[in-house]
Amino acid sequence: MSCPFNDEQLAQLKAFVNLCKEQPQIVQNPKLSFFKDYLLSLGVTLPTATFGAKNFTAAGDANAEPKPMDPAQSSSDEESEPESDVELDMEGVIEGIALEGPQEMGDPDKEPTDEERDQSDEKRSEAMMAFSEQEFDKAIALYTEAIQLNPQSALLFAKRGQVYLKQNKLDACIKDCTRALELNCDSAAGYKFRGRAYRLLGKFEEASHDLCESLKIDYDDQANEWLAEIKPNAEKLRQHKLSMQRKKEEKEHSEKLRRARKAQEARAQARAQQAAGGAAPDMGAFANMANSQDFVNLFSDPELFAAFQDPEVSQMIYDVSSNPSNYIKYQGNPKFAAILEMLQKKMGKGGAAGRGPGEFPGFGGAGAPPPTGPKAGDDDVGLD
């Protein structure tokens, strides 16, 4: 038969084939659906639009620019999908084909008779013949009849799972193989074909586990080849999970240390206050006063006003007035001690708060009542 294409058409066809090799997912382009259908009719395994070639970014658009990722979404994805930041080779991963109808699993409680077992074996032989002739639908029908006769046979489910695997009906394959393993935990075929189905779905860890189990039970060259395909991806995922676990443990350890340090500081503070006779300032009272008009009035005092020009002093006072417990951070600071002493003196004068020396709450005389009678010269006393 002569070639129906001229040289120019052949060159274009060759370029298209090379493009398919470099970017296998291009066959998912809707405009190439006729070509995709032809490949599927040949039993070819096709990549999905979401996986495959590393340089291919979107179905039908090999030159598309990657979309920027929302940082919040990225953080959420990292938590929900730990393997999302692992670069995996997704070539050969497919979506799989769903069954059109229910998957016949037989009566799990049925105990077949000897005659039914013989009939089931005959159906299995016919199914194996149909499978060898690539009559997959016929093989499925025959295996299903055999299962109905003998639903306790793990081999029948594993063999039908193999046919589903050939048809890229991966979920059906996994279901059959899982049933086979429920009936016989040493079903090498069940592990083998389920492992392959997991591999085609991109579930590399599950695939690695099943193929390893299959090889332990009964060594098989094909299963060994399938395992070799996914070892790099499975190892990357394993290492990534170990790294995530280490980070989690380190974070938990750091949090325990932080809580321990906080508790230790609290105990040290309590001991220091006890040793000092409980004379620590009542910073809660100071915070209340710091937000009052009395505190504002103090700024008419030049000495105090000058002291507050120091940014460090201002920050310390603001920090303590916002949260009295922050006093602990500054109790050893000379500037803080000096400003507290100055405040005690200034506040002790009646013009600011109407109290005598040492009578402002929290500064040596906390809770002391204000004077009950007028003092001599009260009307003449003002701020320095």
DSSP 348-369: TSHHHHS--TT-STTSSSTTPP
Greatest CA separation for the chain: 128
- Whether the Cβ atoms of residue 24 and residue 53 lie closer than 8 Å to each other: yes
For residues 362 and 371, what is the distance between their CA atoms, to the nearest angstrom? Answer: 17
- Whether the Cβ atoms of residue 177 and residue 191 lie closer than 8 Å to each other: yes
Instruction: Provide the pLDDT for residue 286.
Output: 53
Residue appearing with tokens 């508790």: 263
- Whether the Cβ atoms of residue 180 and residue 161 lie closer than 8 Å to each other: yes
Where exactly are the structural domains of the chain? Answer: 20-62+86-95, 114-237, 283-368
Instruction: Provide the pLDDT for residue 158.
Output: 96
Instruction: Provide the pLDDT for residue 270.
Output: 73
* Residues comprising the chain, all counted: 384
| 114-237: CATH topology | 1.25.40
Judging by beta carbons within 10 Å of its beta carbon (0-12, 13-18, 19+), is residue 163 exposed, middle or buried?
Answer: buried
Over the chain (384 residues), the average pLDDT of each successive run of 10 is: 72 78 73 76 62 35 42 43 64 87 92 94 96 95 96 96 95 96 95 95 92 94 92 85 88 90 81 58 52 58 76 79 75 81 67 39 38 42 39
CA distances from 146 to 63, 100, 142, 159 (A): 51, 20, 6, 11
pTM of full prediction above 0.85: no
Which residues lie closer than 8 Å to 269 by C-beta, 6 or more apart? Answer: 328
